[in-house]
Amino acid sequence: MPLEIATVPCLADNYAFLLHARETGETALIDAPEPGPIQAELDARGWSLSQVWLTHHHWDHIDGLPELRDRWHPRVVGARADAHRLPALDRQVSDGGQFTFAGHEVKVLDVSGHTVNHIAFYVADARAVFTADSLMALGCGRLFEGSADQMWASMQKLAALPDDTVVYSGHEYAQANAAFALTIEPGNPALDARARAISAARAAGQATVPSLLAEEKATNPYLRPSSSAIRTHLDMVNATDAEVFAEIRRRKDAF
Protein backbone atom coordinates (compact mmCIF):
# COMPACT_ATOMS: atom_id res chain seq x y z
CA MET A 1 0.00 0.00 0.00
CA PRO A 2 1.44 3.41 -0.95
CA LEU A 3 0.16 4.94 2.30
CA GLU A 4 1.69 3.87 5.61
CA ILE A 5 0.18 4.62 9.04
CA ALA A 6 2.09 4.80 12.31
CA THR A 7 0.29 4.84 15.67
CA VAL A 8 1.90 7.14 18.25
CA PRO A 9 0.94 6.76 21.94
CA CYS A 10 0.84 10.14 23.70
CA LEU A 11 0.06 11.44 27.19
CA ALA A 12 -1.55 8.86 29.49
CA ASP A 13 -3.94 7.25 27.02
CA ASN A 14 -4.08 9.30 23.80
CA TYR A 15 -3.13 8.26 20.30
CA ALA A 16 -1.89 10.37 17.41
CA PHE A 17 -1.38 8.96 13.92
CA LEU A 18 1.10 9.62 11.14
CA LEU A 19 -0.04 9.01 7.57
CA HIS A 20 2.93 8.74 5.22
CA ALA A 21 2.92 8.74 1.40
CA ARG A 22 5.86 6.74 0.15
CA GLU A 23 5.69 8.15 -3.38
CA THR A 24 6.09 11.78 -2.35
CA GLY A 25 7.59 11.59 1.14
CA GLU A 26 4.76 13.67 2.58
CA THR A 27 3.49 12.94 6.09
CA ALA A 28 0.26 14.05 7.75
CA LEU A 29 -0.32 13.98 11.49
CA ILE A 30 -3.82 13.41 12.81
CA ASP A 31 -4.14 15.30 16.12
CA ALA A 32 -1.28 16.60 18.22
CA PRO A 33 -1.62 15.66 21.91
CA GLU A 34 2.03 16.34 22.77
CA PRO A 35 5.14 16.99 20.66
CA GLY A 36 7.75 14.64 22.13
CA PRO A 37 6.52 11.20 21.04
CA ILE A 38 5.47 12.55 17.64
CA GLN A 39 8.86 14.16 17.00
CA ALA A 40 10.58 10.95 18.10
CA GLU A 41 8.50 8.82 15.71
CA LEU A 42 9.13 11.17 12.80
CA ASP A 43 12.85 11.18 13.50
CA ALA A 44 13.04 7.41 13.91
CA ARG A 45 11.37 6.89 10.53
CA GLY A 46 13.16 9.72 8.77
CA TRP A 47 9.87 11.41 7.87
CA SER A 48 9.16 15.13 7.58
CA LEU A 49 5.86 16.54 8.79
CA SER A 50 3.88 18.16 5.95
CA GLN A 51 0.36 18.53 7.35
CA VAL A 52 -1.58 18.33 10.61
CA TRP A 53 -5.28 17.40 10.60
CA LEU A 54 -7.19 18.39 13.73
CA THR A 55 -10.39 16.56 14.69
CA HIS A 56 -11.63 18.83 17.48
CA HIS A 57 -10.60 21.56 19.88
CA HIS A 58 -9.92 19.68 23.14
CA TRP A 59 -6.49 20.36 24.61
CA ASP A 60 -5.36 16.74 24.49
CA HIS A 61 -5.69 16.81 20.69
CA ILE A 62 -4.07 20.18 19.92
CA ASP A 63 -1.60 21.18 22.64
CA GLY A 64 1.39 19.63 20.89
CA LEU A 65 0.88 21.71 17.77
CA PRO A 66 2.92 24.87 18.56
CA GLU A 67 6.22 23.02 18.97
CA LEU A 68 5.57 20.86 15.91
CA ARG A 69 4.67 23.96 13.93
CA ASP A 70 7.86 25.71 14.98
CA ARG A 71 10.02 22.86 13.73
CA TRP A 72 8.20 21.59 10.64
CA HIS A 73 5.91 24.44 9.47
CA PRO A 74 3.16 22.03 8.38
CA ARG A 75 -0.15 23.10 6.84
CA VAL A 76 -2.87 22.74 9.46
CA VAL A 77 -6.34 21.47 8.53
CA GLY A 78 -9.45 21.73 10.70
CA ALA A 79 -13.18 22.38 10.76
CA ARG A 80 -14.31 25.70 9.34
CA ALA A 81 -17.19 25.76 11.84
CA ASP A 82 -14.74 25.41 14.75
CA ALA A 83 -12.01 27.73 13.47
CA HIS A 84 -12.74 30.21 16.27
CA ARG A 85 -11.50 27.76 18.93
CA LEU A 86 -8.86 25.80 17.01
CA PRO A 87 -5.28 26.88 16.40
CA ALA A 88 -4.82 28.98 13.26
CA LEU A 89 -5.83 26.90 10.24
CA ASP A 90 -4.23 26.92 6.80
CA ARG A 91 -7.16 24.96 5.35
CA GLN A 92 -10.73 25.06 6.66
CA VAL A 93 -12.95 22.10 5.80
CA SER A 94 -16.61 21.17 6.22
CA ASP A 95 -18.80 18.09 6.34
CA GLY A 96 -18.91 16.29 3.01
CA GLY A 97 -15.94 18.21 1.71
CA GLN A 98 -12.72 16.68 0.51
CA PHE A 99 -9.12 17.52 -0.16
CA THR A 100 -6.13 15.64 -1.51
CA PHE A 101 -3.06 14.44 0.34
CA ALA A 102 -0.19 13.30 -1.87
CA GLY A 103 -2.71 12.56 -4.60
CA HIS A 104 -5.08 10.62 -2.32
CA GLU A 105 -8.61 11.82 -1.57
CA VAL A 106 -9.45 12.67 2.04
CA LYS A 107 -13.15 12.96 2.85
CA VAL A 108 -14.32 15.08 5.78
CA LEU A 109 -17.18 13.85 7.97
CA ASP A 110 -18.90 15.91 10.65
CA VAL A 111 -19.18 13.54 13.63
CA SER A 112 -20.53 15.91 16.26
CA GLY A 113 -21.52 14.57 19.65
CA HIS A 114 -18.43 14.51 21.85
CA THR A 115 -18.03 18.12 20.78
CA VAL A 116 -20.01 20.16 18.30
CA ASN A 117 -18.12 20.42 14.98
CA HIS A 118 -15.93 17.39 15.71
CA ILE A 119 -14.76 15.98 12.37
CA ALA A 120 -13.33 12.68 11.15
CA PHE A 121 -11.08 12.06 8.15
CA TYR A 122 -11.74 9.13 5.80
CA VAL A 123 -8.95 8.03 3.44
CA ALA A 124 -10.33 5.31 1.19
CA ASP A 125 -6.95 4.51 -0.38
CA ALA A 126 -5.64 3.62 3.09
CA ARG A 127 -8.88 1.91 4.18
CA ALA A 128 -8.69 4.24 7.19
CA VAL A 129 -10.95 6.57 9.11
CA PHE A 130 -9.51 8.78 11.83
CA THR A 131 -12.34 9.23 14.33
CA ALA A 132 -10.66 10.63 17.47
CA ASP A 133 -13.37 10.85 20.17
CA SER A 134 -16.42 9.96 18.09
CA LEU A 135 -16.44 6.23 17.26
CA MET A 136 -13.91 4.49 19.52
CA ALA A 137 -12.84 0.90 20.16
CA LEU A 138 -16.01 -0.62 21.68
CA GLY A 139 -17.24 2.84 22.56
CA CYS A 140 -17.99 6.41 21.62
CA GLY A 141 -16.97 9.69 23.17
CA ARG A 142 -18.77 11.23 26.13
CA LEU A 143 -21.29 13.88 25.09
CA PHE A 144 -19.59 17.01 26.39
CA GLU A 145 -21.26 19.42 23.96
CA GLY A 146 -23.48 17.58 21.50
CA SER A 147 -26.67 15.61 21.95
CA ALA A 148 -27.36 11.89 21.83
CA ASP A 149 -29.23 12.44 18.56
CA GLN A 150 -26.18 14.12 17.07
CA MET A 151 -23.87 11.33 18.16
CA TRP A 152 -26.24 8.65 16.88
CA ALA A 153 -26.29 10.39 13.49
CA SER A 154 -22.49 10.41 13.58
CA MET A 155 -22.37 6.70 14.43
CA GLN A 156 -24.65 5.92 11.47
CA LYS A 157 -22.46 7.98 9.16
CA LEU A 158 -19.35 6.07 10.22
CA ALA A 159 -21.09 2.69 10.16
CA ALA A 160 -21.94 3.31 6.49
CA LEU A 161 -18.26 3.13 5.53
CA PRO A 162 -16.96 -0.18 4.10
CA ASP A 163 -16.67 -2.98 6.64
CA ASP A 164 -12.94 -3.36 5.97
CA THR A 165 -12.28 0.23 7.06
CA VAL A 166 -9.78 0.48 9.91
CA VAL A 167 -10.87 2.80 12.72
CA TYR A 168 -8.08 4.93 14.20
CA SER A 169 -9.59 6.40 17.37
CA GLY A 170 -8.08 8.77 19.87
CA HIS A 171 -7.77 6.92 23.19
CA GLU A 172 -6.91 3.60 24.83
CA TYR A 173 -10.29 2.98 26.43
CA ALA A 174 -11.16 -0.46 25.06
CA GLN A 175 -10.80 -2.47 28.27
CA ALA A 176 -13.17 -0.24 30.23
CA ASN A 177 -15.48 -0.05 27.22
CA ALA A 178 -15.55 -3.85 27.00
CA ALA A 179 -16.54 -4.18 30.65
CA PHE A 180 -19.46 -1.85 30.03
CA ALA A 181 -20.46 -3.40 26.70
CA LEU A 182 -20.85 -6.78 28.41
CA THR A 183 -23.53 -5.26 30.65
CA ILE A 184 -25.49 -4.14 27.58
CA GLU A 185 -25.24 -7.28 25.44
CA PRO A 186 -24.08 -10.13 27.71
CA GLY A 187 -25.05 -12.91 25.30
CA ASN A 188 -23.00 -11.74 22.31
CA PRO A 189 -20.28 -14.38 21.66
CA ALA A 190 -18.31 -12.01 19.41
CA LEU A 191 -18.25 -9.46 22.21
CA ASP A 192 -17.19 -12.09 24.76
CA ALA A 193 -14.30 -13.13 22.54
CA ARG A 194 -13.26 -9.55 21.88
CA ALA A 195 -13.34 -8.66 25.57
CA ARG A 196 -11.02 -11.58 26.32
CA ALA A 197 -8.67 -10.56 23.51
CA ILE A 198 -8.59 -6.98 24.77
CA SER A 199 -7.75 -8.09 28.31
CA ALA A 200 -4.93 -10.28 26.99
CA ALA A 201 -3.59 -7.45 24.82
CA ARG A 202 -3.59 -4.96 27.65
CA ALA A 203 -1.93 -7.44 30.02
CA ALA A 204 0.83 -7.75 27.43
CA GLY A 205 1.13 -3.97 27.11
CA GLN A 206 -0.31 -3.96 23.58
CA ALA A 207 -2.57 -1.33 22.04
CA THR A 208 -6.18 -2.06 21.15
CA VAL A 209 -6.29 0.77 18.60
CA PRO A 210 -6.83 0.69 15.66
CA SER A 211 -9.80 -1.65 15.20
CA LEU A 212 -11.76 -2.95 12.24
CA LEU A 213 -15.13 -1.37 11.48
CA ALA A 214 -16.71 -4.78 10.88
CA GLU A 215 -15.66 -5.81 14.38
CA GLU A 216 -17.09 -2.60 15.83
CA LYS A 217 -20.41 -3.26 14.09
CA ALA A 218 -20.50 -6.77 15.56
CA THR A 219 -19.57 -5.83 19.13
CA ASN A 220 -19.79 -2.09 19.85
CA PRO A 221 -23.13 -1.38 21.60
CA TYR A 222 -23.25 2.18 20.27
CA LEU A 223 -23.48 0.80 16.73
CA ARG A 224 -26.04 -1.86 17.70
CA PRO A 225 -29.20 -0.20 19.05
CA SER A 226 -31.26 -2.16 16.51
CA SER A 227 -30.13 -5.46 18.10
CA SER A 228 -33.13 -7.38 19.40
CA ALA A 229 -30.97 -8.81 22.18
CA ILE A 230 -29.96 -5.33 23.37
CA ARG A 231 -33.52 -4.02 23.11
CA THR A 232 -34.87 -6.94 25.12
CA HIS A 233 -32.12 -6.62 27.73
CA LEU A 234 -32.86 -2.90 28.15
CA ASP A 235 -36.64 -3.43 28.05
CA MET A 236 -36.83 -1.09 25.04
CA VAL A 237 -38.26 -3.40 22.39
CA ASN A 238 -40.49 -0.74 20.86
CA ALA A 239 -38.10 2.21 21.18
CA THR A 240 -36.40 3.94 18.26
CA ASP A 241 -32.74 3.28 17.54
CA ALA A 242 -31.96 6.82 18.67
CA GLU A 243 -33.72 6.24 21.99
CA VAL A 244 -31.85 2.98 22.57
CA PHE A 245 -28.56 4.68 21.72
CA ALA A 246 -29.30 7.49 24.18
CA GLU A 247 -30.06 4.99 26.94
CA ILE A 248 -26.81 3.11 26.30
CA ARG A 249 -24.85 6.37 26.46
CA ARG A 250 -26.70 7.38 29.65
CA ARG A 251 -25.83 4.07 31.29
CA LYS A 252 -22.18 4.42 30.34
CA ASP A 253 -22.05 7.85 31.96
CA ALA A 254 -23.20 6.26 35.21
CA PHE A 255 -21.12 3.08 34.88
Torsions phi, psi of 146, nearest 5?
A: -85, 180
The answer to whether the beta carbons of residues 55 and 132 sit under 8 Å apart is yes
The count of residues in the chain is: 255
**Catalytic site includes residue 56:** yes
Number of folded domains in the chain?
Answer: 1
Low-confidence ranges of the chain (pLDDT < 70): 1
The answer to whether the beta carbons of residues 37 and 8 sit under 8 Å apart is yes
**Contacts by residues 29-32 (CB-CB < 8 Å, ≥ 24 positions apart):** 29/53, 29/68, 29/74, 30/55, 30/121, 30/130, 30/132, 30/168, 31/55, 31/61, 31/62, 31/130, 31/132, 31/170, 32/61, 32/62, 32/63, 32/64, 32/65, 32/68
The answer to whether the beta carbons of residues 158 and 173 sit under 8 Å apart is no
Distance CA 196, CA 198 (A): 5
Catalytic residue among 20, 31, 57, 58: 58
The model's pLDDT over 68-103, given as tens digits with 9 standing for 90+, comes to 999 999 999 999 999 999 999 999 999 999 999 999
Query: What was the pLDDT predicted at 101?
Result: 98
**Catalytic site includes residue 60:** yes
Distance CA 173, CA 10 (A): 14
Query: What was the pLDDT predicted at 1?
Result: 65
Catalytic residue among 20, 31, 57, 61: 61
Query: What was the pLDDT predicted at 13?
Result: 97
CATH number at residue 160: 3.60.15.10
Q: Report the predicted TM-score, pTM, of the whole model to 2 decimal places.
A: 0.97
E-assigned strand segments in 55-126: 75-79, 91-93, 98-101, 104-110, 119-123
**Catalytic site includes residue 20:** no
The model's pLDDT over 205-214, given as tens digits with 9 standing for 90+, comes to 999 999 999 9
Q: Could you list the residue range(s) of the whole structural domain that residue 174 is in?
A: 3-253
Q: Which residues contact 168 (CB under 8 A, 6 or more apart)?
A: 5, 7, 15, 17, 30, 128, 129, 130, 131, 209, 210
**Catalytic site includes residue 61:** yes
**Catalytic site includes residue 58:** yes
Catalytic residue among 20, 31, 57, 60: 60
Catalytic residue among 20, 104, 114, 118: 114
Catalytic residue among 20, 31, 56, 57: 56
